[in-house]
Structure 1
Amino acid sequence: MTTATFRDRRIVVAAIASTVALGLAACGGDDGSEASVDAPDKLTYLVNAENGNIPPVLEDMAQGVCAEQNEVLPLEISSIPQAELDAQIQLLVGQDALPVMFAAGGTPEEGAKLWEAGKLVDFEKELEELGVLDLIEPGAISTIKNLYGGAFNFLPFQYNVEGIFYNKAYFADNGLDEPQTWDDLMAAAETFAAQGITPFAASGEQGWPITRLLSGYIYRSLGPDALQKVADGEAKLTDPEYVEAAAQIASLGENGYLGENVASLDYDSAQNEFLTGNAAMFYMGTWALTAINDPEQNQIGVDNVGFMPFPAVEGGAGSIDQYPSNVGLPSTFGSGTFTSEVGDWTKCITENFGEMSLRDQNTISGFKVVNDVPGLPPLTQEVQEIIATTSDTVLWMEALFNAKAGQDSSHNAALLVTGEMSPEDFMSMLQTDLDAG
């Protein structure tokens, strides 16, 4: 992108933001209540172009299980690069021209603003009236509420929990049980390191796989609201207990538990370290099941991969069953076009998307799978059971950060674990970003 093009785009986005600010202010309302409803003649859906999973499933549903709904409101999908999605949605809001259905923007804060302006459907209300609210996994609802202003206002077309994938054989060969506490985890890491096995594969190039470990420790030690308190200004990342969490993660690098090349490893390389047996553990979201279930990538065998939650911290306020989770880039319906016909489509999606996504795309969503899907690998079934029994979730490190803090967190995570940046300096940098707004 040339400098001139980038400058022009910034001007356009700034103009859009000004228009949206006026538009949202004019809308008023802060409870997601619906204003007058315009009847659409199509089920228009704006989605990020990078998403190759959701559109094919919806298209199959339109030709199959939802054909009746599609006859009334034909599905019409359009896409836009994710980097441009926020600006496009803001422009459409300012023009009062939101599509019937659309993907969330890049930051949860923008989705929360749309909710406060009364632009989004209250799915807790609408799905209850449609009789299908119980077909949404409680954990997915919890995650969406944590992200988008406390309301169930987006649908979980994708849903992942996060934890530690581990090599069962390495644990069994050393007489190690699945770690229940941080101390247990560190003892296992010491055992593997002594044998020349990298305890944890992690990408320092991406950075966020390291900060996921940091937020995991924060949640277990300080409780599930620890980062919400920071977002609300009730606590600071520079408080001693938060800095201590950063010091614990820094110690992973200091002790050699992340391997010698953590700073230069990208995501795929880190994943490969685990799947080829060079590393004993790999903290990641359950989207990694795609690679784990692929025999060409997984050289240790799918039956040799276990999955465990981030362990408890002794004396901590968090619980081991509070899984970090995310809903990818979720989608929603505009309140201004949510007619009974759109409701019929929504009901059909809720009843069928979970099963069809799992069967056709091998992806897990936050929609319950009512019928058995044959041929699922055991680990995928185990993850499904975890999702089905999880109701209280937490977020990830940068979920409630502003853009600058999110970027600095990921870009400097490797420096934290290589000793080039102290825990105090790392957390101070992020807090400065947050204070700047």
Structure 2
Amino acid sequence: MNLMMRIMPRRASVPIAFAAVTSLLLAGCSGGKDDAPVGGAKEFSVLVTTENTQTGAMFDDLKANQCSDAQKQLPYTLSQTPSSEMQSKVQLLGGQNALPVMYAGTQSLIAPKGDLQVSGQVLDLKETFQKLGVLDQVTPAAQSVIEQLYAGSFPTVPLQFNIEGIFYNKKIFADHNIAIPTTLDELTAAAAKLKSEGVTPFVASGKTGWTISRWLGAIIYSQLGPDALQKVKDKKAKLTDPQYVAAAQKLQELGKYFIDGITNLDYDTMNAQMLNGSAAMMYMGTWFLAAVNDPKQNKVGDNIGFFGVPGIKGYPANVGSPNAINAKLYNDGVGAWLTCIAKNWGSESLKKQGTFSGFKVNTPVDSLPALTADIQKKIDSAPASVLWFEGLFTPKANNDSSANAAPLLTGAMSAKDFMTLIQSDLDAEA
């Protein structure tokens, strides 16, 4: 309903029938409150997975505080669905034109040419944030990741953001006179020195293969540049090209510096090895800080540090699960919520939950653990980001990469065979 129609004064000369129809139309457009937004959403409805407890807690806090004005315009409501059922739930609601305002759509559904994009149920957030005057509240690193994941579009609200790199034991480095490596050769030399002196250089989980395959992505970016995997996606290069196979071979060469028995090592045991001082380094995302900041898990205290993989400008990063906005429900009330989220989510998620988002931290957060504060500075200053190894892969390629990462690392599978398998998956599902 046109806003001018809503506020247009009635004139005595308007026929009674027309006035009655107009009154009915106005009643249909009204949200029931004088300040309710016209058309679109009647509540700020949010759908996330049942396993996601953080988002709901954040909204509960914001609606009572920084976003109380947005809450008055458009009351917040939450619904949840198990992650295993989320895609089918979103597809069903999308087909019924019944999606909520914010929903956890899968990447393929909300990407350009995805079903929900085609049906007009995905809001262009870059354009929206620009119109609301808050695009500058999105960190450059987060925007870079989103636009790489979604072929230049911006369909997800970055409520989460994590960078990836190498967590290391500062005491082990100091005891063995090792400086933070600035090249892959220096990293290899540091690992060789540690192993020769009886220390496990690297830990990863063979049962959780992505903890190994992430290394491969980092090596590819370090040696071939930040667009190396985008070229594979765009069919301008193949993983079977010599320089890509050489990167996989480099990872295999590093395999001798990883923990013994890696094939059967699970994720929790991997973390424990890092947190009890048994290993010197571990490639991981910054979600690991939850364990680092837990005294029950962290037995080495402040001795955990973090540095980026040498040779990469910025960091491999992700923005968590998608949080799309239903374009068909957008109105001023939704805009008020998005404005408040952009200005406050970054500070509040860091303060209340110790987690990072893709929004700037506008209010300083006191008493942060030293490592958390250091990583936040790294995120704020990163000019851009790259994706993880499987970030642009098809589902089968993703699964095969994880399943065969440990055999690649241990030499049970050759670098050429590994890359041929993943490239075949990409070719088959193109």
Q: Which residue of 2 aligns with 1:275?
A: 275
CA separation of 1:385/1:115 partners in 2, compared to 1, >3 Å: closer, same or farther?
farther
Which residue matches 2:349? 357
**What TM-score, normalized by structure 2, do the two folds share?**
0.88
Which residue identity is paired with 1:65? Q
1:205-216 superposed matches below 5 A: 205-216=207-218
Which residue identity does 1:98 align to in structure 2? L
2:196 match: 194
Aligned length: 390
How far apart in 1 are the matches of 2:118 and 2:195? 50
**Partners of 1:428 and 1:39 in 2: CA distance:** 49
Alignment partner, residue 396 of structure 2: 404
Q: Show the counterpart of 2:100.
A: 99
Q: Is the 8 A contact 1:212 1:396 kept in 2?
A: yes
Secondary structure in structure 2 of the residue aligned to 1:259 = coil
Q: CA deviation at 1:109?
A: 6.2
Number of the residue aligned with 1:266: 266
1:149 aligned counterpart, secondary structure: coil
* SS of equivalent to 1:428: helix
Q: Deviations over 1:148-172 (max 9, x none)?
A: 2211221111100111011111111
Partner of 2:45: 44
Cα distance in 1 between the residues matched to 2:39 and 2:104: 20
- Asked whether 1:381 is paired with 2:373, we answer yes
Alignment of 1:3-402 (within 5 A): 38-105=39-106, 107-108=107-108, 110-112=110-112, 113=114, 114-115=116-117, 117-253=119-255, 255=256, 257-302=257-302, 304-312=303-311, 320-402=312-394
CA distance in 2, matches of 1:98, 1:73: 16
In terms of Rg, which structure is larger? 2
Q: Does structure 1 retain, via aligned residues, the 8 Å contact 2:110–2:155? A: no
Q: Distance in 2 between matches of 1:118 and 1:140?
A: 24
CA deviation vs aligned residue, 1:94-120 (integer Å, no higher than 9, x gap): 222221111131x45653323455432
Amino acid at match of 1:52: T
Residues 119, 336 of structure 1: 8 Å contact kept: yes
Structure 2 SS opposite 1:435: helix
Task: Write out aligned runs for 1:406-425 (5 A).
Answer: 406-425=398-417
Q: Check the 8 A contact 1:160/1:286 in 2, yes or no.
A: yes
Unpaired stretches in structure 2, ≥5 consecutive residues: 1-37
Deviations 1:240-273 (A, max 9, x none): 11111111111122x2x11111111111111111
Does the aligned pair in 2 maintain the 1:104–1:111 contact within 8 Å? no
Range that drifts further, 204-213 or 355-364? 355-364
Residues 244 and 368 (structure 1), Cα distance of their counterparts in 2 relative to 1, 3 Å cut: same
1:186-232 Cα deviation digits (max 9, x unpaired): 00000111122110110110100110000000011111111111111
SS at match of 2:77: strand
Quick one: which amino acid aligns to residue 111 of structure 2?
Answer: G
Q: Give the Cα separation in 2 of the matches to 1:127 and 1:404.
A: 35
* Rounded Cα–Cα distance in structure 2 between residues aligned with 1:141 and 1:116: 22
CA distance in structure 2 between the partners assigned to 1:109 and 1:433 by the alignment: 20
**CA displacement, residues 329-369 of structure 1 (integer Å, 9 cap, x when unaligned):** 03121111110111011111111111111111111111111
1:18 is matched with none
C-alpha spacing 1:251/1:343, structure 2 compared with 1 (3 Å):
same
3-state SS of paired residue (1:47): strand
1:34 corresponding residue in structure 2: none
The 1:238–1:374 alpha-carbon spacing in structure 2 relative to 1, beyond 3 Å, is same
| CA deviation profile, 1:7-35 (whole Å, cap 9, x unmatched) | xxxxxxxxxxxxxxxxxxxxxxxxxxxxx
Residue 324 of structure 1 deviates from its aligned partner by 0.2
Tell me the SS of whatever aligns to 1:311. coil
C-alpha contact 2:44 2:74 (8 A) present in aligned 1: yes
**Structure 1: which amino acid aligns with 2:48?**
V
> Which sections of structure 1, spanning at least 5 residues, go unmatched?
1-36, 313-319
Matched position secondary structure for 1:296: coil
Q: TM-score, normalised on structure 1?
A: 0.86
CA distance in 2, matches of 1:273, 1:235: 38
The separation in 2 between residues aligned to 1:231 and 1:117, in whole angstroms, is 25
